Protein backbone atom coordinates (compact mmCIF):
# COMPACT_ATOMS: atom_id res chain seq x y z
CA UNK A 1 0.00 0.00 0.00
CA UNK A 2 2.72 2.49 0.96
CA UNK A 3 2.56 6.16 1.69
CA UNK A 4 -0.11 8.31 0.09
CA UNK A 5 0.91 10.33 -3.01
CA UNK A 6 1.04 13.53 -0.98
CA UNK A 7 3.74 12.06 1.27
CA UNK A 8 5.65 10.61 -1.71
CA UNK A 9 6.51 13.98 -3.27
CA UNK A 10 7.40 15.41 0.11
CA UNK A 11 9.74 12.49 0.73
CA UNK A 12 11.42 13.11 -2.63
CA UNK A 13 11.83 16.79 -1.73
CA UNK A 14 13.53 15.88 1.57
CA UNK A 15 15.84 13.43 -0.21
CA UNK A 16 16.68 16.07 -2.82
CA UNK A 17 17.55 18.52 -0.04
CA UNK A 18 19.80 15.86 1.52
CA UNK A 19 21.57 15.33 -1.82
CA UNK A 20 22.08 19.07 -2.35
CA UNK A 21 23.54 19.42 1.16
CA UNK A 22 25.97 16.59 0.46
CA UNK A 23 27.00 18.41 -2.72
CA UNK A 24 27.97 21.41 -0.61
CA UNK A 25 24.95 23.66 -0.98
CA UNK A 26 24.07 26.04 1.85
CA UNK A 27 20.76 25.49 3.63
CA UNK A 28 19.55 28.93 2.55
CA UNK A 29 20.13 28.05 -1.12
CA UNK A 30 18.46 24.63 -0.73
CA UNK A 31 15.40 26.29 0.81
CA UNK A 32 15.19 28.75 -2.10
CA UNK A 33 15.62 26.04 -4.74
CA UNK A 34 12.96 23.77 -3.21
CA UNK A 35 10.54 26.53 -2.21
CA UNK A 36 10.56 25.76 1.51
CA UNK A 37 11.68 27.59 4.62
CA UNK A 38 15.20 27.43 5.97
CA UNK A 39 13.75 25.98 9.18
CA UNK A 40 12.29 23.04 7.26
CA UNK A 41 15.65 22.32 5.63
CA UNK A 42 17.33 22.57 9.02
CA UNK A 43 14.90 20.01 10.48
CA UNK A 44 15.46 17.65 7.54
CA UNK A 45 19.25 17.90 7.92
CA UNK A 46 19.00 17.16 11.63
CA UNK A 47 16.83 14.12 10.92
CA UNK A 48 19.21 13.00 8.19
CA UNK A 49 22.27 13.30 10.44
CA UNK A 50 20.58 11.41 13.29
CA UNK A 51 18.80 8.69 11.33
CA UNK A 52 20.38 8.69 7.89
CA UNK A 53 18.35 8.69 4.69
CA UNK A 54 15.83 6.32 6.31
CA UNK A 55 14.72 9.18 8.58
CA UNK A 56 13.79 11.26 5.50
CA UNK A 57 11.33 8.67 4.23
CA UNK A 58 7.58 9.16 4.57
CA UNK A 59 6.08 7.52 7.62
CA UNK A 60 2.31 7.69 7.24
CA UNK A 61 0.24 7.53 10.41
CA UNK A 62 -0.49 3.97 11.44
CA UNK A 63 -3.93 4.74 12.85
CA UNK A 64 -5.42 3.49 16.06
CA UNK A 65 -4.74 -0.07 17.12
CA UNK A 66 -7.80 -2.27 16.58
CA UNK A 67 -9.79 -3.11 19.70
CA UNK A 68 -10.34 -6.66 18.49
CA UNK A 69 -7.30 -8.80 17.80
CA UNK A 70 -6.97 -10.46 14.39
CA UNK A 71 -7.98 -13.75 16.03
CA UNK A 72 -11.13 -12.19 17.50
CA UNK A 73 -12.01 -10.57 14.16
CA UNK A 74 -11.69 -13.99 12.54
CA UNK A 75 -14.33 -15.26 15.01
CA UNK A 76 -16.97 -12.76 13.86
CA UNK A 77 -18.31 -15.12 11.14
CA UNK A 78 -18.91 -17.72 13.88
CA UNK A 79 -20.83 -15.11 15.88
CA UNK A 80 -22.94 -14.36 12.80
CA UNK A 81 -23.48 -18.07 12.16
CA UNK A 82 -25.02 -18.52 15.62
CA UNK A 83 -27.80 -16.20 14.54
CA UNK A 84 -29.18 -13.08 16.15
CA UNK A 85 -31.69 -15.07 18.18
CA UNK A 86 -28.79 -16.73 20.05
CA UNK A 87 -28.06 -13.30 21.54
CA UNK A 88 -31.62 -12.66 22.63
CA UNK A 89 -32.90 -10.79 19.59
CA UNK A 90 -36.29 -11.55 18.09
CA UNK A 91 -35.79 -12.97 14.62
CA UNK A 92 -32.60 -14.15 13.01
CA UNK A 93 -31.81 -10.97 11.12
CA UNK A 94 -28.51 -9.23 11.77
CA UNK A 95 -27.95 -5.49 11.65
CA UNK A 96 -25.09 -3.32 12.82
CA UNK A 97 -26.65 -2.51 16.19
CA UNK A 98 -27.27 -6.14 16.97
CA UNK A 99 -23.74 -7.08 15.93
CA UNK A 100 -22.32 -4.36 18.21
CA UNK A 101 -24.21 -5.92 21.13
CA UNK A 102 -23.03 -9.44 20.20
CA UNK A 103 -19.39 -8.30 19.94
CA UNK A 104 -19.69 -6.64 23.35
CA UNK A 105 -21.05 -9.88 24.86
CA UNK A 106 -18.56 -12.19 23.13
CA UNK A 107 -15.37 -10.17 23.41
CA UNK A 108 -16.12 -7.40 25.92
CA UNK A 109 -15.30 -4.74 23.33
CA UNK A 110 -17.60 -1.83 22.51
CA UNK A 111 -17.92 -0.68 18.92
CA UNK A 112 -20.13 1.93 17.33
CA UNK A 113 -22.74 0.19 15.15
CA UNK A 114 -21.42 1.97 12.04
CA UNK A 115 -17.99 0.45 12.63
CA UNK A 116 -19.52 -3.02 12.93
CA UNK A 117 -20.71 -2.66 9.35
CA UNK A 118 -17.13 -1.85 8.34
CA UNK A 119 -15.81 -4.92 10.17
CA UNK A 120 -18.33 -7.17 8.44
CA UNK A 121 -17.51 -5.76 4.98
CA UNK A 122 -13.79 -6.18 5.68
CA UNK A 123 -14.46 -9.89 6.26
CA UNK A 124 -16.32 -10.16 2.95
CA UNK A 125 -19.84 -10.19 4.38
CA UNK A 126 -22.61 -7.63 4.17
CA UNK A 127 -25.60 -6.65 6.26
CA UNK A 128 -28.54 -7.35 3.98
CA UNK A 129 -32.25 -7.18 4.15
CA UNK A 130 -33.93 -10.57 4.43
CA UNK A 131 -35.05 -12.30 1.24
CA UNK A 132 -38.33 -13.36 2.83
CA UNK A 133 -41.05 -10.89 3.66
CA UNK A 134 -42.46 -10.62 7.15
CA UNK A 135 -45.10 -13.23 7.94
CA UNK A 136 -47.33 -10.53 9.45
CA UNK A 137 -47.41 -8.57 6.17
CA UNK A 138 -50.98 -7.98 4.94
CA UNK A 139 -50.85 -7.48 1.17
CA UNK A 140 -54.56 -6.62 0.94
CA UNK A 141 -54.23 -3.85 3.56
CA UNK A 142 -51.18 -2.44 1.77
CA UNK A 143 -52.99 -2.39 -1.58
CA UNK A 144 -56.01 -0.69 0.01
CA UNK A 145 -53.79 1.96 1.68
CA UNK A 146 -51.98 2.70 -1.60
CA UNK A 147 -55.16 3.13 -3.61
CA UNK A 148 -57.37 4.90 -1.05
CA UNK A 149 -55.29 6.65 1.62
CA UNK A 150 -52.10 7.59 -0.24
CA UNK A 151 -53.76 9.77 -2.91
CA UNK A 152 -55.23 11.96 -0.13
CA UNK A 153 -51.88 12.30 1.65
CA UNK A 154 -49.83 12.90 -1.48
CA UNK A 155 -48.82 16.51 -2.04
CA UNK A 156 -50.62 18.21 -4.87
CA UNK A 157 -48.52 20.33 -7.23
CA UNK A 158 -48.79 23.99 -6.33
CA UNK A 159 -50.56 26.40 -8.67
CA UNK A 160 -47.38 28.43 -9.07
CA UNK A 161 -45.47 25.40 -10.38
CA UNK A 162 -47.58 25.36 -13.57
CA UNK A 163 -46.68 28.95 -14.45
pLDDT confidence of residue 20:
94
The pLDDT tens digits of the residues spanning 78-132 come to: 999 898 889 998 888 888 999 999 999 999 999 999 999 888 888 888 876 666 7
Which residues, 6+ apart, have CB-to-CB distance to 108 below 8 Å? none
- For residues 19-41, one letter each, b for 16 or more C-beta atoms within 10 angstroms of the residue's C-beta and e for the rest, the string is ebbeeebebeebbeebebeeebb
- The mean-pLDDT minimum among 35-44, 56-65, 153-162 falls in 153-162
User: What is the pLDDT at residue 27?
Assistant: 93
Q: Mean pLDDT throughout 38-53?
A: 92
Residue 3: pLDDT band (50, 70, 90) is: low
Amino acid sequence: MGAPKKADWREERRKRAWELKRQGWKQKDIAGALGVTEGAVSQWMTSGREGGEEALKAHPAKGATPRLTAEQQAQIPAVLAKGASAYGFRGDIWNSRRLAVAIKREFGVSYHPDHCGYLVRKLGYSMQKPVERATQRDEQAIKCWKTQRWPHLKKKPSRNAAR
